[in-house]
Structure 1
Amino acid sequence: MLKNPKYVYGDEDLCLPAHLNFGSFMLNNLWMNKDKVTLINGSTHETLTCGEIAQEAMNLAISLKNIGFKRGEVVAICSENRREFWGTVIGIVCAGGVVTTINPGYSKDELIHVLNISKPKYIFCSPNTYNMCENTLKSMNIVSKIILYGDVSNKENNLSYSNLAKTNGKDVGMIDFEEFEVVEVNGQTDTVFILYSSGTTGLPKGVMLTHLNVLVSCCLEPTMQSDKINLTITPWYHTMGLIGTLRGLSKAVKVVFLPKFEIESYLNTIERYKINLLVVVPPVLVALCKYQSNHDVSSVNVIYSGAAPLHGDTIKDVHKRFPKLESVLQGYGMTEVTLAVARDVQSKAHLAKPGGVGFIVKNAVIKVVDINTREPLGPNQPGEICAKGVIIMKGYVGKSKEDDFDEEGFFKTGDIGYYDENKYFFIVDRLKELIKYKAYQVPPMELEAVLLQHPAVRDAGVVGLPDASAGEVPLAFVVLQPNANATEKELQQFVADRLSNPKQLRGGVRFVEEIPKNPSGKILRKRLREMIKTTKSKL
């Protein structure tokens, strides 16, 4: 068979362990660097070495077996970012289990929805999340044991992570690495993670990732660099935080993490630890650029941004904010492709292009197809991005693959994008989020990027407002900077001066206090559309 000239093919040279067991891969790599500090809590300044994570993982794996855990069973983790998280993840995997990570901010109905998808037998909780979710968890017959982080003296009938991971549950001391053996798995087909799609257009779906999926992602060129001090604030229950940090831990990079984003704390952390590389989502960069302070951020020389494209003007502002910045790198992906299917990398930083998301990753194939005819498109022709390869998920829990994969086995991402003559990729918008104005398709992200250039605008989200004659017209929700002023007409004119006629804010501007987003920073447009019925401009 001949390669299709309109498809983009990634390189195929990638070194993977023959056992294809992600638990063994992580444990071996951590133990090989056991004396290195790999995680630092930027709030408490607590440190964690690779060896400490590996030791807790081994102890926990044995303890799980002792309490009746069996290979293939699902274990949930519902917690904010804290030290016990990684010993839990790797311990479950070493025991042959399936890990599902749950957003601690889920409502009762959302929590019930995802638990019914993955059906975990065990669940690890932080004290905060347990206090919020206790009644819901106890009302479900799925979960048989709850294991708590921190002090559990007042929590009857629950197990303690500390007891399980520090002494293997029987006070017999620490498990010896040389005597420990991970549970055997079929890495090509066995599920290692059940994660949840972002749910920006509906309820989350359970994404099944195999050991092979995650191994391949971890063996690609890393985002976080071993010769730099890296800072991340992405929640670990989300794909970007989970897979991204696992990639870093597998290479013993030094990662400073913060449980949540607060701009003063973030800047103080950069200053204190002389951070070199930031892993962020676009809203964080916009906030940093518009926040006036005298913090010393001259140590930052690389920024890696994901979840949504950065506009070229925003990148210019970022360079002004960080005077020693060398590269702003971006990537494109989703849970279903095990984090990223196209990305900039440090070794090719000089090839990064404003507004772009990089080159295809190794062992992947991408085609861009016409959204109506499904015919493959060539360079500089926007269409739906479809991908296949060893990083593509096994499938959704309880769902046939027919709706999400085409006849050639390509996963239909639902994103509109294109590649240029150098096979460098650009993302336009989500297929379902394009605004249909008369015969034109208007990408909301383009209007948002322009609005963010206005000095009074702190954040913005754009959706289509139903219109009898045009179908839809663009409507903007805007968050103003503190003590800043701007009128609806002023912002409409600001956009009109910079974009073509179909992209005018004919639906108006509504001023709000916050733009709803998911943990990775993606705008929840479904919520914005709901707000159309209830929200009126304050000005």
Structure 2
Amino acid sequence: MLKNPLYVYGPEDRHVPAKLNAGDFFLQKIWEHKDKVSMINGATDEKLTYGEIAQEAMNLAVSLVKIGVKRGDVIAICSENRREFWSSVIGVICAGGVVTTINTSYTKDELKHVMGISKPKFVICSPFSYKAQEKNFKNIEGIKNLIIFGEEIPKNTLSYNALAIVGGSNSMLKENVKIDEFEAIEVVGKDDLAMILYSSGTTGLPKGVMITHLNVVTACSPTMEMPDIVALTITPWYHTMGLMSHLIGFVKGKMSIYLPKFEVEQYLRTIEKYKVSQLSVVPPVLVALCKSPTKHDVSSVMIVVSGAAPLHKETADAVLKRFPNAQAVLQGYGMTEATLAVSINTNPDKKASVGQVTSNSVVKIVHPETGKVLGPNQEGEVRVKGVMLMKGYIGKKKQDDFDEEGFFKTGDIGYYDEDKYLYIVDRLKELIKYKAYQVAPAEIEAVLLKHEGVRDVGVVGKPHPSAGEVPVAFVVTQPDSKVTEAELQQFVAERLSNTKHLRGGVRFIDAIPKSATGKILRKDLKKMVISSKSKL
């Protein structure tokens, strides 16, 4: 009956509607802004209004029901960032379907794995994804048909335009659906799924994360106001960070600039052209921007928001130099399992923090081995509880990932300070076990990034017969850099304690393997540890 004084509680300020179909929730919200531009493609200048998203979503929902989609059917969306993506997401959910978003770069085995989890009956995809995955899609059992974006429709597939846009020769609908005549399929919001998303899989195969309608509606119902600024994003929409952050913005009627992919020169040109005031990126993008020698007018940038991976203080300092008018470099902490955000920082005086716990959420820090609840400034595993927390993983027992109080075991190491601001140290599974010590790879990476000859870096543990593991660094050098292994080992030794020295050596490689959101794929680096080959 009493709150635990060692837990960190977010405010109770979210309000959800009585009708809990998430698609209907988005539809009603974006219709309020139907005449506003929702987003602009920074590469092509193509504009998309909220009214276009809403109209195509309603049309698509009605058409999907006509072709046999029923409540609870899973529909996969596999596409790069393009205009039809959002009406597909909202339309599927309005039809009572469950959206599962698919990484466009999945290999055959990865695609087979995730679709084996979600078992979609239809796949909506772009021409790019169709060309790349056609054979793989057709070899997956249970898929009834493919729905293709664009004008050119391959044989034995369905046309998105025919289902969602009225006026073409093949249109399924004779006229546009009117919003006052439209009703989304009724669902049980607390139990029925709106989405099946996938954990990042940085330490193993992705898991299917079950996100309910209530999870989604609650996550997109913060009462805090969002400033009316021009934001630029490159995060793939099939990932939780891109997916949910845009849906939250839709509810508030915000306009954003997006790019289908990241390229330093185009990114900086887009900032200059559209006078972008907020950047939403992952740390590796910030590193690339800070180390780029090109000059563009970036004086419009006022706020930089970083997420998906820890942001080193040194990188944050470099960002403020690269964007001189930026007032703050702010971090957030979240995960697919929490329907995006666990904490958000809005305090520039706490720039190393990932912020305060979001509303309707609770965080506790526990000792990784004993489970004892810890107090301020004590490092332990971060555990999360709240309305936005997933229903569970598909095919897994809930007790495997939740403790007896219903808190999700994040596997992240962190702490909170005396002001209840949260800090993330590293992943529990990624800590290097050197003798009796636990070494955080992120700390060594932060030091190496200070070296003028280092462009990018990833650190993992290398098996050692007596010490257990020793740190080894994989380094991408700056062009024309002549830095050596011994030089970097000495650089670290002069700045970090003995347990964190690079006893495993330095490997020079062309690129650090990363997920779509910029997280270092340490499992891939560990596979490379067994090879003694290096670039230099």
Is residue 160 from structure 1 mapped to residue 159 from structure 2 by the alignment? yes
Q: 1:313: how far off?
A: 1.6
Give the counterpart of 2:423 among 408, 426, 437.
Answer: 426
SS of the counterpart of 1:489? helix
Note if 1:188 corresponds to 2:190.
yes
Q: Distance in 1 between matches of 2:138 and 2:499?
A: 53
State how far apart, in whole Å, the 1-side matches of 2:432 and 2:351 are.
24
- The residue number in structure 1 matching 2:353 is 356
3-state SS, counterpart of residue 357 of structure 1? coil
1:67 paired to 2:67: yes
Q: Structure 2: which amino acid aligns with 1:160?
A: S
Task: Give the structure 1 partner of residue 101 of structure 2.
Answer: 101
**Equivalent pair of 2:41/2:259 in contact (CA under 8 Å):** yes
How far did residue 333 of structure 1 move?
1.1
* Contact 2:59/2:173, CA 8 A, preserved across alignment: no
What one-letter code is carried by the residue in structure 2 that aligns with 1:165? A
Percent identity at matched positions? Answer: 61
Give the alignment of 1:93-172 within 5 angstroms: 93-153=93-153, 155-167=154-166, 169-172=171-174
Q: Quick one: distance in 1 between partners of 2:231 and 2:522? A: 31
Q: Distance in 2 between matches of 1:171 and 1:102?
A: 28
1:152, 1:158 within 8 Å by CA — same for their partners in 2? no
- Distance in 2 between residues matched to 1:384 and 1:498, nearest whole Å: 27
Other-structure match for 2:309: 308
Q: Any conservation in 2 of the 1:233–1:280 contact (CA below 8 Å)? A: yes
SS at 2:304 equivalent? strand
Q: Deviation digits for residues 112-135 of structure 1, max 9, x if unmatched?
A: 111110000010011111111111
Summarize deviations over 1:80-136 as a string: whole Å, max 9, x none: 110000010000011111000000100000001111100000100111111111111
Secondary structure at 1:292 match in 2: coil
C-alpha contact 1:456 1:485 (8 A) present in aligned 2: yes
Q: How much does 1:538 deviate?
A: 3.1
Question: In the alignment, which residue of structure 1 is the partner of 2:281?
Answer: 280
CA 1:222/1:132 → structure 2, altered by over 3 Å: closer, same or farther?
farther
Matched, 1:366 2:363: yes
- The answer for the alignment partner of 1:217 in structure 2 is 219
Residue 389 of structure 2 corresponds to which residue in structure 1? 392
Equivalent position SS for 1:57: helix
The Cα offsets for residues 249-280 of structure 1, whole Å up to 9 and x where unpaired, read as: 12111110001100001001001100010000
TM-score, reference length from structure 2: 0.98
**Residues paired across the two proteins, number:** 533
- The offset of 1:202, in angstroms, is 0.8
* 3-state SS in 2 of match to 1:340: strand
Report how far residue 226 of structure 1 moved.
4.6
Letter in 2 for 1:210: T
Cα deviation, residue 222, structure 1:
6.9
Provide the residue aligned with 1:42 in structure 2: 42
Shift of 1:18: 2.0
Contact 2:20–2:217 at 8 Å: present in 1 too?
yes
Contact 1:307 1:332 in 2 (8 A): yes
Q: Match of 1:286, SS?
A: helix
Q: Which runs of 5+ in 2 are unaligned?
A: none
Counterpart Cα distance in 2 of 1:299 and 1:510? 39
Paired with 1:156 and 1:143, the residues of 2 have a C-alpha distance of 16
* 3-state SS, counterpart of residue 350 of structure 2: coil
Structure 1 CA distance, aligned partners of 2:173 and 2:246? Answer: 31
Match of 1:406 in 2: 403
Where does 1:136-535 land on structure 2 (aligned, <5 Å)? Answer: 136-153=136-153, 155-167=154-166, 169-220=171-222, 225-345=226-346, 349-350=347-348, 352-535=349-532
Q: 1:309 offset after TM fit, Å?
A: 1.7
* Closer, same or farther: CA 283–134 of 1 in aligned 2, 3 Å: same
Q: Which range moves more in the overlay, 310-319 or 212-221?
A: 212-221
| Alignment partners' CA distance in 2, 1:226 and 1:87 | 25
Question: Could you tell me whether the CA contact under 8 Å between 1:309 and 1:355 is conserved in 2?
Answer: no
Contact 2:474–2:512 (CA under 8 A) maintained in structure 1: yes
Give unmatched runs, 5+ long, in structure 1.
Answer: none
| Aligned residue type for 1:48 | L
Structure 2 letter corresponding to 1:234:
T
Letter in 2 for 1:454: H
Runs ≥4 residues deviating over 3 A: none
Structure 1 stretch displaced more, 16-25 or 425-434: 16-25
1:167 match: secondary structure = coil
Structure 2 Cα separation of the partners of residues 239 and 4 of structure 1: 31
What secondary structure does 2:317 align onto? helix
- After superposition, the CA RMSD in angstroms is 1.3
